[in-house]
Amino acid sequence: MFDIQGTLVSLDLVERFFCCDLERCLGACCIEGDAGAPIDEEEYRRLKEIVPKVWDYLLPRAQEEIKEHGVAYVDEEGALVTNIIDGKNCVFSCYEPGGLCSCAIEKAYRAGKVDWRKPISCYLYPVRVKQFDGWASVNYHRWKICKSAEVAGRQRGIRLYEFLREPLIARFGQAWYDELVANCKLYIEQYLSD
Ligand code: SF4
């Protein structure tokens, strides 16, 4: 583990290679799993506000679900998460030609309709952040649906901490990320170089 300004960061971020290969995984992380994406209270408020702007991108079933039960719920572990349909799809997921699953919020962001990309837990995936009293941990959620990303990352020489540069800066700030990079480079030099 690295200790970056009081945040414990898994060595997986430097040891694992990763680069999403959407043509192969088809955006499975918006679908697979038995709960929605973790969000905080502020993100919950923003999601409710954003619904009218992304409405036309949503699946008909998701529109019904949002009308009936809203955009989020509290899961079995007591965490606030985005609502899901059919026991798996996030209500904000949508499909592109070819079956690629994407995020309706990000689609609206790219089209200039909203000024928010998506909840930070989605932006950071496959990294998960856990908050504890006064400190946090950053871990790689290793899952078979991302196997193609590990292959593509290795082929292209992109490590997880490099692939997630933008979301990690969005979550923790530039100074935090710069310190992480310095630690990763030192670690590669000491332990991962031939
Ligand atoms: S995080 Fe995993 S499932 Fe999601 S787009 Fe990347 S490789 Fe695909």
Of the pLDDT bands very low, low, confident and very high (cuts 50, 70, 90), residue 140 is very high
Do residue 59 and residue 7 come from a single domain? no
CA 124 to chain centre: 4
Do 29 and 126 touch, CB atoms closer than 8 A? yes
- Across 93-121, average pLDDT: 95
Examine residue 111 and state whether it is found in any structural domain, yes or no. yes
Check pLDDT > 90 for residue 133: no
Neighbours of 111 (CB within 10 A): 11
- Which atom belonging to ligand 1 lies closest to the Cα atom of 26? 8
What is the b/e burial string over 37-56, where b = at least 16 CB atoms within 10 angstroms of the residue's CB?
bbbeeebbebbeebbebbee
Assigned domain for 121 exists? no
Please give the share of the chain, as a percent, with pLDDT higher than 70: 100
Indicate if the pLDDT at residue 87 is higher than 90: no
Q: How many angstroms separate the CA atoms of 147 and 167, rounded? A: 21
What is the span of the domain harbouring residue 152? 1-18+126-194
Phi, psi of 10 (to 5 degrees): -65, 145
**32 C-alpha to center of ligand 1: Å?**
10
Average pLDDT, the chain: 95
If you measure from the C-alpha of residue 152 to the centroid of ligand 1, how many angstroms do you get, rounded to a whole number?
A: 11
Closest atom of ligand 1 to 21 CA is: 7
Q: Residue 170: pLDDT above 80?
A: yes
Q: What is the pLDDT of residue 30?
A: 87
Helix pair 165-172, 174-187: axis angle to 10 deg: 130
pLDDT score recorded for residue 101 = 94
Could you write out the three-class secondary structure of 81-145? EECEECCCEECCEEECCCCCEEEHHHHHHHCCCCCCCCCHHHHHCCEEEEEECCEEEEEECCCHH
- pTM of the model as a whole: 0.94
Of residues 34 and 103, more confidently modeled? 103
List pocket residues of ligand 1, CB cut-off 6 Å. Answer: 20, 22, 25, 27-29, 125-126, 145-146, 149
Mean pLDDT value of segment 22-38: 90
Q: Give distance in angstroms: CA of 126 to centre of ligand 1.
A: 7
Residues 78 and 149 in one domain: no
Residue 104 near residue 94 (C-beta atoms within 8 A)? yes
Using the 3D structure, point to which of 92, 116, 140 is the last residue of a domain.
116
Per residue in 141-155, pLDDT (tens digit) is 999 999 999 999 999
Which of 90, 116, 142 is the last residue in one of the domains?
116
Given the CA of residue 143, which atom of ligand 1 is nearest to it?
Answer: 2
Query: Do 87 and 111 share a structural domain?
Result: yes
Q: How many domains does the chain have?
A: 2
The predicted model gives 17-42 an average pLDDT of: 92
CA-based nearest residue to 110, from 122, 99, 118: 118
Residue 185, token pair as written in the block: 């480079």
pLDDT attached to residue 39: 96
Domain assignment present for residue 163? The answer is: yes
pLDDT attached to residue 136: 93
